[in-house]
Structure 1
Amino acid sequence: MAKKTKKQKRKLNIFRVFVLVFLLVTFIVGGAGVGFVMGVIRNLPDYKPQEGPDWNLTTFVFDSQAAKVAELHGSENRVPVNFERIPQDLKDAFVAIEDNAFYDHFGVNPMAIARALWVNMQKGYKAQGGSTITQQLAKNAFLKNPKKTYKRKIQEALLAIQLERTYTKDEIFNFYLNTIYFGHGANGVQAAAQTYFGKNIEDLTLAESALLAGVANVPGRYSPFINMEEAKNRRAIVLNEMVELDMISNQDSEQAKKEPIKLADLQQKRTYKYPYFMDHVIAEAERLLKENGVEEMQLYTGGLKIYTTLNTDIQEKIEEVYKNRDNFPQVNTEEPVQSAMALVDPHTGAVQGLIGGREHVTKRGLNRATQLKRQPGSSIKPVAVYAPALESGLSPATVVDDVPVSYPIPNQENYEPGNYDGRYRGLITMREAVRWSVNIPAVKFLDQIGVTTGYDFAKDLGLPLLKTDRNLSLALGGLTKGVSPLDMASAYGAFANKGVYIKPYAITMITDSDGNVLVENKPQKRIAMSESTAYLMSNILTTVVKDAQGRTGTGWRAAIPGWPVAGKTGTTQLTGSEFRNVAGNKDAWFAGFTPELAAVVWLGYDVTDKDHYLKQVYGGKYPALIWKAVMEAALKDVEPKPFEKPGNIIQVAVDSKSGLLPSELTPDKFIRTELFARGTEPQKVSDTWVEAEVCAESGKLPSPFCPDVITGVFLKRPIPYTGNKKVEDAELQVPTEVCDVHTNSTTVLLSTCDDPRHEGKMVLANIPAPGQEGGCPEELIVQRVFSPGTAPNNYCDIPEHQLSGSAVGRPRPVPGNNDTYPGRADDNSQGKENDQPTQVPPAEPTLFGSSAKSEDAPNGVNVSLEWKVESDEISAGQDVVYSIERWTDSSSNKYNIALTTETNWIDEKVSSSDVYYYRVTTIDVNTSLTSKSNIIKIHVQNN
């Protein structure tokens, strides 16, 4: 650079010093006194502009044991360029966004802070900063201590004035543009142009110039390699400032805003080990330095010492697993299935290992372990549904009904979640719903506790949720953007850490080259849930993994012998018209933890399309196996221990179909021992099971003709399910159909004698017909229904039960014959004959009916039936009952819905607007002869 001919001065003249002191006292709120300022001046570092700054101080990175693992060199990507080569648009962009009074001030701008505050308040964003370009150059290039202090700010201002006295504005500007740090190891504008756009500085467009000027402020935030939307927004801010300063027209600005950002492939050659972990360390260091008032470029030029949480043994195992192709699905495309993993110490928040891809070709700088944003699928359920449900007072035994459900959404189609396997399990506990990763219960639990409760809980566990994620699809991981493996690992870590969430970190401390502490990173903790909730959630999640050859839930492949492993699988489905009728998935996750470590594995493609998607890959397969391979090695020298159980956890036996205490009717196979936080255990006895009589052969409700009726125990749903999908526990309910195996056409109703002297042998009773006397006593006569071929053939032979006299009008029945009943000789009739007249059937009834409203009926309507039989048409000695049949147009099966001796009946099991058909059959209980009524049609109306 050409220098001014003025004589160099070590100290400023006294007048200038006092003016500067006055301005700085105004500039720095609560600033130091004059004595302090004079001390700063006396300790001003030696200024030798002819030598320029030292760009070659090496930064060292250390692992958790303070062993050096990497070096960051300041000169590795810097290409100085002459001022004339730099496009005017780029110069203007920097002036507009960084220091619009650069060509007017003398190194410091006393009004800059006030003006910047005013402009920023007006615009709602940081459009301007307080430091001048000259001050930024002074602190970046010449000040050894990068920590932002009052002393450094004064030194920075003094050096800025010294620079202005020594160099021209263009020389200072050129010096600045060749030293500023742009992230990704790029120092200076030429290196930045190559890194971001793959072109030389003079070939940059207006849009590209504005983007680079915007990135320089905070590369970790505004780099398009990291956050494209933030980069576009920042570019627009720069362009707007250029318009306001009349550097460009509004038309040029709008055109530049529309220009697509075409980035070069960012393939940075790394010389250090563990490149993905180091990428994360560098990103975290940039952020921490910025937060602590240290310029990010000090990372490469300041000779810093960075102490990290890296566990090299764990990291090397992760790298080893990811290099083995057998640990991943084999595909027929050139692009491999990608994966990422993050592992943290849940008790400290320390990131002990991570990997952001199978190969370190960081396309667009993506570190999938930390920067990935993908939907987590079912792996979010413990975080956003089940843990908040437990915290709200529910328990692992709380039951919901896994049946189809539909939630109305204003101005949209109803939300109708489904289960991944197409099954509906019916009444299911929270534990079983988690174990088998059933979707509908998760949505119902979230609906029960409230979406906001689950949303806020997940936010407290560090998940980067957006306002648009506050809906029921949150239960299944349906997020607007998504989460990273590190986000999920730290969230799950709170379960292992007794409910305490610790924000993950990879850096413990940063010092300058002299050992002065610049950053001390203390863990940020917060209580996210009670210890009992954390323990119960952990215990439930062990059910997902378990194994010991018992292999229970979806995550059994992650089991580690000797260790309690808690985990959850997650899979996201393909969406979009191009995947219609395509079987496959987009993402696969496994999130898990032991009492010592928590880790999460993601697997999928960077871009999912018709040629790149997961085929037969689920969270419980490759991700679970990768997780196990790493965690098993990480824990090999650690003594296994259980999850520590809080003192308020108790065990209680429950009915697994109600979540309540078992009743006398609860079948043994539905009684479970479950864990509860004291105070949440059930107090009521289950009423889910009821007794009902059914046909022993068909298992349906008994008809009047069923020969063997038994009492069974059946399930009663709290809310009846009336849909047409098959629900697996529906077979446990009281049947709704009447037996169609035993009907009046397939059975015979006969009277038998139950005198003990028959010793249990079935015999027909002797019943006197008109004109006869004697017979079996009424108290010993029992009516029974017999199927064809099962009726007894012999009559009671007890002497005092025999008949005497001649029958008139009605014969004795012959078993199994419903048409005629020829008699038989009575061996005990003392030579008297039995007449055998033809049997008389019962009279035919005439049926009437109507429908009406009914407050007592389940559906608010009923059907009233009435039938008439002329009394003189009933033959002497005939005892009759009436069987009522019903059927519909959709089913021709005729069901016996009632049996009565009355001549009227009210049917309450009907629905409005449906059509029903009815018929009544008169049955002679002695002869089993029948007569059928007319058929009537009833259209049920709710009026």
Structure 2
Amino acid sequence: MAKKAAPKKKKKNRNFSVYIKWFWRLFALGVLAIVMIFSLASWGFFGELPTFEILENPQTNLASEVISSDGKTLGKYYLSDNRTPVPFDDLPDHLVNALVATEDERFYDHSGIDAWGTVRAVAFLGSRGGASTISQQLAKQLFTDQVSANIGERILQKIKEWIIAVQLEKQYTKEEIIAMYFNIYDFNNNADGIRSAARVYFGKEPGELNVEQSAMLVGMFKNSALYNPRRNVEGVTNRRNVVLGQMYKNDFLTKEERDSLQALPLEIDYHPESHSTGIATYFRMYLRDWLKNWASEEENRKPDGSKYNIYLDGLKIFTTIDSRMQAYAENAVQQHMPRLQAEFFHQNTKKRNPTAPFQDLRQGQIDTLMRLTMKRSERWRKMKYDMKKSDEEIEASFHKPIPMEIFSWKGDIDTVMTPMDSIRYYKYFLRTGMMSMEPQTGHVKAWVGGINYKHFQYDQVKQSKRQAGSTFKPFVYSTAIDQLHLSPCDEYPDLPTCIEGGKYGNMEAWCPENSNGEFTGENITLKQALAGSVNSVTARLMDMVGPQPVVNLIKKMGVDADILPVPSIALGTPDISVYEMVGAYGTFANMGVYVKPVMITRIEDKNGTVLYENVPETRDVMSPEVAYTTVNLMKGVTESGSGMRLRHKSLGEQTVYKEIITGYPYEFNNPIAGKTGTTQNQSDGWFMGMVPNLVTGVWVGGEDRATHFATITYGQGASMALPMWGLYMKQVYADEDLGVSKEDFEVPEGLTIRIDCDLAADEANDTIPKVKTPDVEIDF
């Protein structure tokens, strides 16, 4: 029996060895299959993989960045990706630790694929965490399509991710991979990449983030649409706390730190980044158009001959704008314009002005004006040219009520009105333009093109040109000083002055009146005449030098407008932009040398290669002596003329203007040269103010010349524009780091013109408006 049992045992052993052989055959076949699948995938059999060159330079859309002279980001240009790369060294340690602890604990120990994580994910079907490493997630973001719902396609995508992840690990350091991952991720709300996310959600640069803020942003990697801090506060808080827990688990936080941070409420400081919000919006829109023109020029092309795309190529545009001075200028507008507007509304109720907001127009003229505005509107353009609607259909739509959001100084208002009513509503609002420049370099330090870019997109600094009023008079005076060697102390009678029209063609004689309609008949100095803006003396100077030399002068000072050489230009009839006026006045402050305003110092590509550098454009316009003498004349405006309110230390009884309008007191005691300007019917109010190293121009007025104050009290430049200059300069001087001068203007060597002539006290007092005469005209 025992002998018969032995063969059975041998058969059983033989069967077991067969199983062993089949096991190894299947194992080898599986390994071979895996090798083959990975080989086929790497050869592109299942779809193209990135080449070495593409891995070397992965293509992502990069926003172009506008950078201020003090190193702050003013804004960006982008289409869909608001992305600006940040190097690893600029990422705080706790941000990197939060990412590693949460997304890939063994990141520094693997070469792209986490074997243990993969086995765990398969064994527990993902219930104890996924298997994707940071390198795999980066591969998916950079080089693979969206996750497929088809399991077979998803397996192939995963294989591609593994291959690319290994290649990335060979190509880049661990630190570079982390930086790329932070820079590529979309954090929602136009926050592409960690720099935009830090700025959008917290108003900070990445290096300024604290631990809980870093944890919140890392938590968004799981799903930024779901974990959106603007919509899902509870979910984002819980997710942030999970990240903090992972940091504790991986010894990046102590238990006490974890517990205290998890107890904090979620706090975000939302700063949306769009083309119509943020600082220096009008300047950025001007700059955008300049860049497009620059990129279209043949000499500025890429090495391959293609154009730079400001929305995709990650250019860095270094500007002359100082973010602090820009903020101060915008603050001045935000302080003054709502007060001025409130007074305008008060004076233009239907009861007080039946044709409000217009003055001096008949109903038929108003209808024509409204119709022209309707046809110039963006709504009309879109309906006519994009939607191919007839004029009758378009016009009918302007009289149908629709929901809309309208501007108010207290915040946007959701309402229902007809587009035509909204046009009239916006006609009520006074507009402004303000620019500040360093005259020695031409560097533009602040540029405010309006009261709100979202609702008023027409730039009042460079696009708009308005009558200059009395701010034009210094050009007449400087021409006379240059040609006739006049002194501020020279005297002329305040008498009616007529210039015969025959001198300038077949024109009628020009006999201007003073702003108050009166002539004193007394002799006054040129300094007194400019301080009091006496038209009779300006007309006399124009007759002495002729209009053509004045036109020639202002052309040299950067004014491009076509100006007819007629005598009436002496009182500021030409239309000139704030940009041109500031550049021209800079010539006076810069000892007679015109420097064309500069906004951009250089442009770099994403790799730091310089593509453009500004070359200053300068020219000698007048002698230092003439320039200084003109400045001395304009100093009289703030010492005894319409700009004297800049010196007031209290409201007192010497001013008719409410504190709410003027922003008194300014209490400046340093030398200031300036000139106010007010055009016919108070349609335009100007103030040009200068200290030795800063020239600033301010204009205020309505969209249409018919929109203006009824009287000179509030309608003059000294009330509409000067207060913004004062509010701006108070902030500028309070910031001592800016180095804006309080010294006197430099006296040129060899000065031969007599300068030292003081105004008598009683004459100075006569130029100040009294409480009992609220409509006395200061300036015309």
**By percentage of residues, which structure has more strand?**
1
Tell which structure's C-alpha radius of gyration is larger. 1
